Structures are given as structure tokens and as C-alpha cells.
Amino acid sequence: MTKGFINYRKILIVGLGMIGGSYAEKLSALGFEVGALVRRQETLDYALAHGLIAHGQTEVTREYVSQFDLVVSALYPKAFVEWVRKYQEFLKPGAVITDVTGVKRSVVPAVQEILRADVEFVPAHPMAGRERSGVEFADSKVFAGANFIITPTERNTPEGIELVRTLGCILGFRHIAVLTPEAHDEMIGFLSQLTHCIAVALMDCKDSEHLVEYTGDSFRDLTRIARINENMWTELFLENRDELLSQMDLFLEKFTQLRDALDRGDEDTMKEMMRLSSYRRSFFDKK
Amino acid sequence: MTKGFINYRKILIVGLGMIGGSYAEKLSALGFEVGALVRRQETLDYALAHGLIAHGQTEVTREYVSQFDLVVSALYPKAFVEWVRKYQEFLKPGAVITDVTGVKRSVVPAVQEILRADVEFVPAHPMAGRERSGVEFADSKVFAGANFIITPTERNTPEGIELVRTLGCILGFRHIAVLTPEAHDEMIGFLSQLTHCIAVALMDCKDSEHLVEYTGDSFRDLTRIARINENMWTELFLENRDELLSQMDLFLEKFTQLRDALDRGDEDTMKEMMRLSSYRRSFFDKK
């Protein structure tokens, strides 16, 4: 059903936030004809003025949508499922849809179950971003060195997966992996969502104005991601609630173990926990 | 009692680890005559071969110690108090001692109470370091942009404090502050010790080998300091136990608040916590 990547000359980006805008920027620079569907006219004006897209609309019409071979949804998870429900009838037969959402179990089956049989949805998660949101922060340089994860199901074809793998590749991602939606959500719950929860909780502990002048690198590093888009992350957390709760509880268990060892002056346990963390962290330096 | 800094030509560093070695490197480069007392002959050989010091000994003798006007202890907290108890009789009359220990309430009164009346101890904490320990990681570039905190008491003289302020200044620290030992330990308990506890607990949650390839910047940033010198940090944590426990409990409270909001699907609380963390983190960007 799918063709070689070079035949997907016209690519539609739905939603031009930081990530959608970065996809558009890179794909336009590579010579693709990039169109966009956005909510606000100002977003369209900005994207056109900065050469991120060739054309775009604020209105979703059959005439516009049906010209694209490849559609990238850069919407939030629930908005994406809703978009497919409302507008899939406009899609060109044989089109491929992919996405950028950071949770997969709640999105992938929901979309694949309602989708027309002549259109394929290949889910993907570009693990890149910035602390700021909006098309004006679009910058495809954030993809360099980052991970791109494809989370297909048995409904996907090898050709569809290969197409999206090529997309991740030309966008500039360093490492492209394939995981099940379940493995993805567990991994992302730990590596990304839990770390954001820690940063938010730590930053919420104290008024920061008088602390700034004493703050060293470690506190700065731990709280960088405490500057957070509350609408997007609240939705991502809730869409991955069970998995994130279990990762948070695992962290609480380890943190409390260290706290209690300190409380009872148990040097051996403290040192053992530090030796383990040092050993495990050492793997990160070898790359 | 104290003289102008330029008259402190001979400086003794007691203990050449990463920090002591970095002091030695910088002070030698500035033209001071830097001596050292170390435990192991290999440390002495390395420091001499790399020009970090002019001379040094593994044995603590009256003849050697009594020639120095300024003594910098770069020992761990308890070893420092013990050193003063054993060897203070060797110190030159009028000498000034300073230190580098990361906890102050347990060190400052202990040393000042036993110290001879003709010697002044001016406590300081250079807030800089690396994830590695040992003289071979000495590198005074870590001081650039870092904070240097002096924690004097009523036993200190304005001249002694000024001398150590000048020391911090010529070592290259960006910001030199004066705090009470109590305020220092509270601040360091939160900004430095708590962040290390979080990093250790997070890194201890899971086997890391298979996670490395998916790990993004946020997890890397949060766990950088999980590679930790377990002997030094265990001692620092235990010497600041009450304060660190209360900072850990504050963090546990905020983290659990976010966890419970997620558990009951309370979007408002989650977003409010994220808005607060974003607001507070924004102060860090203005510098």
C-alpha cells in the first residue's frame, strides 16, 4: 500500500506548536511541500512568514486534506483522537498518518480501531522538546542526538513502519527504536514523566528568589524541566496514570529507604545505595 | 592580628583531594608558595610532578607546619576536627586556618572551641566540585562561576573574614557570600544534599543498562550527581542529619501531593503545582 518515501512529496502537519513547527521547518528545508492545519490565523502567518510551510488553513476541508500522502498529527493526545474521528473521511485513500504524542496506550488503539481500512496509522514519539511552547520556538536542531520511538501494533504493515522510520531518520534523530505501546509507556513514565514530577515537586518546595544566588549546577540541572507546559503535561500524566503512579511509588520507596537509613544513622545502607547509583550512572558516560 | 593577603606568601593545604588539589593548583599559579600534608606518598609525587605544590610531607611535623601563615584544611569534616585537636600545637602564632567542608554547624563550634587563642579559624565552603575524587581530578576551573560561602561566628575578626574573602576571590569564585553556620546548613541541605538524595534514589530505581538508549536530557541531568563519593557524602549527610531530614520530608510532602492529585485525577491541583514550579524556575533564567 505504501510507496517509497520520495513519493510522499506533500506532507500535512496538523497543529503547529513547538514540535509541529520543528517538523515543518526541517521537512520544508529538505524540499518537501509542507502544508499545515492550525487553529489560529497568527500561527499560520508566522509559519508562512518564516518559511516553515508552503501553505496552510485554519479550516479543515476535504479539498485541502485529501491532497496529502503523509499526515503528521502534532496535536495533544485527546485532540488527536478527536481529529481522526471528525476528519478521517477527508483523508486520501492510501494515506499514512503518524503522530508525536508522548503517551501511546491510550492513543494507538483508540485511533487504529476507528480508522478507515484504507489508511494506516503508524504511531511515533519524537523524544525531543523545549521548556517553551508555541511555533515561535520551533527549532529542528533539538532532534539531533535525540531518540525517536515507533510503537506499532499488529495492525501496522512493514512498509508503514519503514516509512515512519525514514521520517525519523531524515528529521535528524540519532537513535530510532521500535517498542510496543506498553513498553513505551512504562519507559516514558520512568525516564520522562517521573523526572518532570520530581522537578515540579522540588521547585515547589520553597520560594526561590532568595535561593538563586546560592544555587549550584546540581539544583539547576534537577529543576530545568520544572518550567513546564501545564496543559500538555497534565494531559500526558493523566493519559498514563497507572504507569506513572507505579513509577512514582517506586521512586518514593527508594527515596524513603535512603531517608530512613539517614534517620537511623545506617551508614552501610547509605553507602550501598550510593555505590549502586554510581555504578548505574557510569553506563551513561560510556557513549 | 591578621596581615594583608600579600603577606601570606606560604600557604599549607592539608589533604590533596579534588578540592585541595584545585586550591593548590590555583594558588601555585598565582605565585604563592604552596605546601601540602597528605596521607599517601603517591599523592605527593603526583602533586609535585604536576606543579600543584612547591613541597609537601606525609608526616605532620612541628618544623613543617609552623612555617605557614595560612592553613587550608581540605579534609572531610570529622578528620578536620581531629587534625586540629592533634596538631594545633604546631601552628605558627597568628596563623589563620580555613576549611572547605560542606557542613558547618558540626564543624565550626567544634574547632573554634578547642582552638588556641592566638590562631583564628575562618570557616568557608567552596560550592564547587566534580563527580570524581582524587588529586588527579584537580581543576581550579570549577571555581569559575561558583559560589564561595564564609560562615563566621562571633569569635571571628573582621580581618580574618576579609582574608578568607580575598582567598575566595583570587581562587576565582564568582559570588562570595557570608551566612551563619545555621543558615548555611539549611540552604545546603536543600540545594545540594537533597538534590543528591533525589539523584541517588532515582538512579537506584531500575537497572540502567537497557535504559541508556532511550534516556533523554532530563533523566541525564537529574542523575548526573548520582555518581557520588559515598564516603564523603555519607559523612556530610550524617553531619547535617536533622536539617537534611527536614528538607527530605518537605520534598516528600510536595511529591506526594502531586502523586495524590494524579491518583484522583485532580487536574486543577496538578496544573497549579506546575504553574508554581514554572514561575519559580523562571527566576533562574534572568541571570
| pLDDT above 60 for B1 | no
- In this prediction the ipTM stands at 0.90
Residues 62-91 on B with a CB inside 8 Å of A are: none
Kindly state the average pLDDT of the residues A167-195: 95
| pLDDT above 60 for A2 | no
| Banded model confidence at residue B2, pLDDT cuts 50, 70, 90 | low
Q: How far is residue A191's CA from residue A203's CA, in Å, rounded to a whole number?
A: 19
Percent of the residues in chain B that have a pLDDT greater than 70, as a whole number: 98
Give CA torsion, residues A198, A200, A204, A208, to 10 deg: 100
- B241 contacts in chain A (CB < 8 Å): 262-263, 265
- A198 contacts in chain B (CB < 8 Å): 198, 202, 222, 255
Whole-model pTM: value is 0.89
- A197 contacts in chain B (CB < 8 Å): 255, 258-259
Among A179, A200, A219, the domain boundary falls at: A179
- Select the residue of B230, B255, B267 nearest A198 (Cβ to Cβ): B255
Q: Looking at the structure, tell me whether residues A36 and A137 fall in a common domain.
A: yes
* Domain, as residue range, for A218: 184-285
Q: Which long-range contacts (CB under 8 A, 24 or more apart) does A207-212 make?
A: A207/B280, A208/B280, A208/B281, A208/B283, A208/B284, A209/B283, A211/B187, A211/B190, A211/B191, A212/B283, A212/B284, A212/B287
Q: Looking at the structure, tell me whether residues B156 and B23 fall in a common domain.
A: yes
Q: Looking at the structure, tell me whether residues A117 and A21 fall in a common domain.
A: yes
Q: Looking at the structure, tell me whether residues A122 and A214 fall in a common domain.
A: no
Note the pLDDT tens digit of each residue in B80-89. 999 999 999 9
Q: Cell for A259?
A: 531517608
- A205 contacts in chain B (CB < 8 Å): 190, 247, 250-251, 254
Provide the pLDDT for residue B130.
78
- A144 contacts in chain B (CB < 8 Å): none
Q: Looking at the structure, tell me whether residues A169 and A203 fall in a common domain.
A: no
Here the CATH number for the domain that contains residue A40 is 3.40.50.720
Task: Determine how β-strand A96-99 pairs with β-strand A120-122.
Answer: parallel
Here the CATH number for the domain that contains residue B198 is 1.10.3660.10
- A285 contacts in chain B (CB < 8 Å): 227
Does B275 sit within 8 Å of A216, measured CB to CB?
no
Q: Looking at the structure, tell me whether residues B264 and B210 fall in a common domain.
A: yes
Question: For chain B, what is the mean pLDDT?
Answer: 94
Give phi and psi for B102, each to the nearest 5.
-90, 0
Q: Looking at the structure, tell me whether residues B109 and B128 fall in a common domain.
A: yes
Catalogue the E-assigned strands of chain A: 10-14, 33-37, 55-57, 70-73, 96-99, 120-122, 124-127, 147-150, 175-178
Q: Looking at the structure, tell me whether residues B30 and B136 fall in a common domain.
A: yes
| pLDDT above 90 for B4 | no
Q: Looking at the structure, tell me whether residues B36 and B148 fall in a common domain.
A: yes
- The amino acid that residue A200 corresponds to is V
Q: Looking at the structure, tell me whether residues B209 and B76 fall in a common domain.
A: no
Q: Looking at the structure, tell me whether residues B13 and B112 fall in a common domain.
A: yes
Among A179, A203, A232, the domain boundary falls at: A179
| B287 shares contact with chain A (CB less than 8 Å) | yes
Provide the pLDDT for residue B133.
85
| Banded model confidence at residue A1, pLDDT cuts 50, 70, 90 | very low
Note the pLDDT tens digit of each residue in B20-47. 999 999 999 999 999 999 999 999 999 9
Q: How far is residue B123's CA from residue A32's CA, in Å, rounded to a whole number?
A: 64
Three-state SS at B107: coil
| B248 shares contact with chain A (CB less than 8 Å) | yes
| pLDDT above 80 for A131 | no
Pick the range with the lowest mean pLDDT from A60-69, A150-159, A276-285, B196-205. Answer: A276-285
| pLDDT above 90 for A287 | no
Note the pLDDT tens digit of each residue in A98-115. 999 999 999 999 999 999
Kindly state the average pLDDT of the residues A250-277: 98
| Banded model confidence at residue B210, pLDDT cuts 50, 70, 90 | confident
| pLDDT above 80 for B285 | no
Does A259 sit within 8 Å of B248, measured CB to CB?
yes
Which helix or strand (DSSP H or E) is residue B71 part of? strand B70-73
Residues 115-144 on A with a CB inside 8 Å of B are: 127-128
Between B284 and A272, the more confident residue is A272
Percent of the residues in chain B that have a pLDDT greater than 90, as a whole number: 86
| B223 shares contact with chain A (CB less than 8 Å) | yes
Does A216 sit within 8 Å of B128, measured CB to CB?
yes
Among B179, B198, B225, the domain boundary falls at: B179
Q: How far is residue B198's CA from residue A279's CA, in Å, rounded to a whole number?
A: 16
| B221 shares contact with chain A (CB less than 8 Å) | yes
